Amino acid sequence: MTPVIWVHGDAMNPNAPTFRAYPQAPALWVWDEDLLATYNISLKRILFMYENLLEMPVAIRRGDVAAELARFAAEHDASTIATIFSPSPRFTQITDQLAYQDLTVEVWYQPPLVDPHRTFDLKRFSRYWRKAEKLAMQRTS
């Protein structure tokens, strides 16, 4: 049985391992109501994310993430949700909620864009990117 793919803020990559492993799997992004209400995310950032999502093979919903993922999995007769790991505590909360609903969460790992052992200001993307860009854009072998 093919799983569904959960695309979230730390996994907005159409070339992620989940998409490569399950090229025919339906994918879902959920605008997290709780997160949007709690965090002060600018409209500019929301629009940037939305424009990126429009270029991905993903359904877009808004609401409670775990509930929407469970509903999406049921619609596609899937008992497994494949996703990319996130260090966010919210990610852990959501995956725990899914486990209580008898859904298997298959967590894939991908190499970080930059060294995670460095200290970064994660409150504003632009501050993070000014430091991370130098590391991320280095030539690799």
Read off the CATH number of the domain in which 45 is found: 3.40.50.620
pLDDT in tens, 7-40: 999 889 898 999 999 999 999 999 998 888 888 8
**Residues whose CB falls within 8 Å of the CB of residue 122, separated by 6 or more in sequence, listed in order:** 128
59 and 83 co-located in one domain? yes
Q: Which amino acid is at 91?
A: F
The per-residue DSSP string of 75-119 comes to HTT-SEEEEE----HHHHHHHHHHHHTT-EEEEE----SS-TTS-
Give the per-residue pLDDT at 17: 94
Q: Which residues contact 47 (CB under 8 A, 6 or more apart)?
A: none
**Judgement on whether residues 55 and 87 belong to the same structural domain of the protein:** yes
Task: Express each pLDDT in 32-91 by its tens digit.
Answer: 988 888 888 888 989 999 999 999 999 999 999 999 999 999 999 999 999 999 888 899
